[in-house]
């Protein structure tokens, strides 16, 4: 992990926030974010603006003047957005070849990764940018401080969303071969697809030993992923690399252990950071048939190996809300589909297909 910052177990030092970097080897730094410290640092100017707003009648009624940084950490997704902005700073600094973020393999984590985009979409729906700018033109001091505070928050979210959408940003998921572990990995991959995250590799823990003599001589080799497990994972993450991880015997702690584990895992791989070919767009719109009012449009959402029983679909104005495996994502419709009505939906292989027909009341003649 040359040139990366990542939580590396018991690396010495730590504390404070993203600025508190602990060098642990040449070209390798470690950090552990402090949520309260990060929020206090990143949102200090925002709380000052809100405090200014609180000196006005409306602000006092809202209690804006008394907000403290530790209170802001309780705001849904505040920590995640601010932490992601710190990762953006590291990636944009030019000081690092790679930045690695170690996350729990949970649906909640993947859902939180999607928060910046969801926040931006929500803000645009409830208070579009052109209306916010119009409020600034009013010259009202309270409007200025409130809009400025909102713009700062949305600016943080924009940077985080741009990083997550960057083709260089990829995800590696760690799973197992057991029935429950495989089912959990499959669900994670489905949720990652729903969130449009790029999976570059799936690490399979405790792979099957196929040659103990080889393992004894060259640890890590002689393990393989069972064919049925590999088939499921390849369908769920086409193009991703499958990596077999042997049992390390104990929890790897610190850089030395992780280096040994990495050598076992990647073996003679020339580029452990190689990314898969760019996959097809996760959401695609196509004209299936007809023309004019007789047209049939299809919106395809890539959802590999999703349990059909968990699928939900709804429409709210110019958005559709797609749910899978307990996670929902709000998807902005392409302009042509906003003038259409939904006629049906089905699972077609690895795609959820939603079909539309023009709405005669708003379709241009």
Cα–Cα distance measured from residue 97 to residue 176, given in angstroms and rounded to the nearest whole number: 29
pLDDT digits (tens), the chain, 365 positions: 333 444 433 333 333 345 567 888 888 888 776 666 666 665 565 556 555 555 444 444 334 444 444 444 445 566 677 777 778 888 888 888 888 888 876 766 766 777 888 888 888 888 888 888 888 787 777 777 778 878 888 888 888 888 888 888 888 888 888 788 888 888 888 888 888 888 888 888 866 544 433 333 333 444 577 788 888 888 878 778 888 877 667 777 888 888 888 887 877 665 676 666 666 677 889 999 999 999 999 999 888 877 888 888 999 888 898 988 888 888 889 999 999 999 999 988 888 999 999 999 988 87
**pTM score above 0.75:** no
* Cα(346)–Cα(328) distance, integer angstroms: 17
How many angstroms separate the CA atoms of 113 and 165, rounded?
11
The terminus-to-terminus CA distance of the chain in angstroms comes to: 58
Residue 165: both structure tokens together: 């959408």
Asked whether the beta carbons of 86 and 99 are under 8 A apart, the reply is no
Residue (of 272, 107, 279) closest to 185 by Cα position: 107
What domains are defined for the chain?
22-165 (no CATH), 171-266 (no CATH), 283-358 (2.60.40.790)
Q: Which two tokens stand for residue 61?
A: 């009624």
What the block records as the tokens of 167 is 């083709």
21-49 burial, b at 16+ Cβ within 10 Å, e below that, comes to bbeeeeebbbbbbbbebbbbbbbeebbeb
CA 15: distance to chain centroid?
Answer: 25
């Amino acid at each position: 992990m040359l040139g990366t910052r990542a939580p590396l177990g018991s690396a010495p030092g730590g504390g404070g926030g993203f600025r508190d970097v602990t060098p642990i080897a040449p070209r390798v730094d470690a950090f552990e974010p402090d949520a309260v410290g990060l929020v206090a640092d990143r949102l200090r100017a925002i709380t000052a603006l809100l405090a200014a707003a609180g000196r006005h009648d409306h602000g006092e009624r809202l209690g804006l003047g008394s907000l403290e940084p530790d209170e802001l950490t309780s705001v849904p997704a505040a920590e995640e957005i601010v932490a992601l902005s710190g990762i953006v700073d590291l990636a944009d600094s030019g000081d690092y070849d790679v930045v690695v973020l170690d996350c729990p393999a949970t649906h909640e984590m993947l859902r939180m990764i999607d928060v910046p985009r969801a926040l931006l979409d929500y803000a645009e729906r409830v208070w579009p940018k052109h209306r916010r700018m119009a409020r600034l033109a009013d010259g009202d001091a309270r409007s200025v401080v409130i809009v400025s505070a909102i713009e700062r928050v949305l600016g943080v979210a924009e940077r985080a969303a741009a990083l997550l959408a960057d083709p260089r940003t990829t995800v590696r998921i760690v799973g197992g071969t057991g029935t429950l572990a495989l089912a959990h990995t499959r669900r994670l991959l489905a949720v990652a697809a729903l969130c449009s995250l790029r999976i570059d590799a799936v690490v399979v823990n405790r792979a099957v030993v196929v040659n103990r003599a080889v393992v004894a001589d060259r640890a890590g080799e002689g393990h393989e992923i069972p064919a049925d497990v590999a088939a499921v994972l390849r369908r769920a993450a086409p193009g991703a690399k499958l990596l077999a991880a042997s049992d390390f015997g104990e929890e790897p702690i610190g850089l030395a252990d992780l280096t040994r584990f990495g050598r076992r895992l990647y073996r003679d791989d020339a580029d452990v950071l190689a990314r898969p070919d760019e996959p097809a767009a996760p959401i695609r719109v196509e004209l299936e048939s007809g023309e004019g009012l007789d047209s049939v449009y299809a919106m395809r959402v890539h959802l590999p190996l999703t349990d059909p029983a968990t699928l939900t679909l709804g429409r709210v104005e110019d958005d559709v809300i797609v749910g899978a495996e307990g996670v929902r994502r709000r998807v902005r419709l392409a302009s042509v589909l906003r003038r259409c009505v939904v006629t049906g939906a089905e699972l077609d292989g690895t795609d959820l297909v939603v079909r539309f027909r023009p709405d005669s009341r708003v379709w241009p003649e």
